Each structure stands twice: as structure tokens, then as C-alpha cells.
Amino acid sequence: MADSMISAYAADAPETHMRTETDNSLPPPTYAQSIASPINLILFALLLTLVYLRLRPKPPPTLSKPPPPIVFRTFTPPMLKPYNGENNMPVYLAVNGKVFDVSNGRNFYGPGGPYENFAGRDASRGLACGSFDEDMLTKDLEGPLDDVKGLGEEEWEAMRGWEERFQEKYLVVGKLVAVGDPEAPKEGS
């Protein structure tokens, strides 16, 4: 009876389910493909490379060498003169007794700039009068400082405006005193 039920079931089943060992018309059974196929190995290597490039340690950033520290100094006019931007020197100028490092504004105050006459000099009178002429500068560097006498109220206001502008934008690196002043540095110091 069991044989008759099996044969009845087999008769009702579709032909695709019936297989015999001698039936070669059906495709062979599919086997699980190996994960080590060439394309999978290439994709895996690419994935590992991307992960490495993303997670590898990065070299520490290199910092540029900081500028040398600027020490507040007392200058005399002859000591200030070399700081005119020539020969790779910084650009300093003095306004109302304060010496400013205007090297960041080298295009204006350094060689070839519109204010180059003031570099390495006391620029108080020239800035107050709005004049770039050489005659606005003290000729005798060994003599007394320009006391800016004879300036009108508008010129004093202009000089104070320049001084404030320089204080906002540039470092004060020293003060300017006359050669014979008690605060003036001695020869060789």
C-alpha cells in the first residue's frame, strides 16, 4: 500500500520534481561558489587598502619656525636708522616717541613703498602734516629729537590718529630718545 501511494503521488507531481539517476536532461545541481574567486579577492584587497588609507596614522603637522622674540628697547635715531627694511632688516618707524615694527606693512613702509622715507626714522612730523617729503624728517640724527613744535590742532589730531592706528595694527618695540638722553643706550650695548 505504501508503494501505491508513492507511485500515485509521483504521478500527480510535476515532471520537474521527478528525478532519476539516469535522467541527464536536467542541469547539474548548483554548488555554493567559493568566496575566494578572483573578483572577490580583488574587491577585498581594494577594501583593505581603502580602510588602511583612511585609518593610518597621520604624521604630526610641522609648525613653521616662529619669529625671534622682540624685546622692548630704547632707540636713538642712529640706532633706528638701519631698521629701514633693506638687507633683510625689519621695518621700524617712530611716532610720538614710540617705535613700531611695521614689517607686516613692508609694501607701504619698506623700500619702494609710498612711506619709505619714514622707515628707520621718526615719522611724527611727516605723518602729522601729511607730507612724505624728506625735509619733514630730522636731518641731524645725533641732535635733539623733533619736538613737533609749531603743529596746529589738526596736525596734532592727525598725528594722534596715526599713533592709534599703529598701536592697533603693529607692535610697539621700543621708544625713541635723543643720543645724549640719560635713557639712551651706551656705545656697544
Q: Which amino acid is at 50?
A: L
Give 93's DSSP letter: E
- Rounded to whole angstroms, how far apart are CA atoms 73 and 146? 20
Give 84's DSSP letter: B
Q: Which amino acid is at 36?
A: A
pLDDT in tens, the chain (189 residues): 445 544 544 455 555 555 555 556 666 656 556 777 888 889 999 999 999 988 888 888 888 888 778 789 999 999 999 999 999 899 999 999 999 999 999 998 899 998 888 999 998 888 888 887 777 787 778 888 888 788 889 999 999 999 999 999 999 999 999 988 888 887 655
Q: Which three cell numbers stand for residue 30?
A: 548548483
- In this prediction, residue 80 carries a pLDDT of 93
Residue with cell 536536467: 26
- Rounded to whole angstroms, how far apart are CA atoms 138 and 157? 21
Global pTM reads 0.63
Angle, alpha carbons 23-26-27 (nearest 5°): 135
Give 152's DSSP letter: -
- In this prediction, residue 28 carries a pLDDT of 60
- In this prediction, residue 70 carries a pLDDT of 79
| Beta pairing, strands 98-101 & 73-75 | unpaired
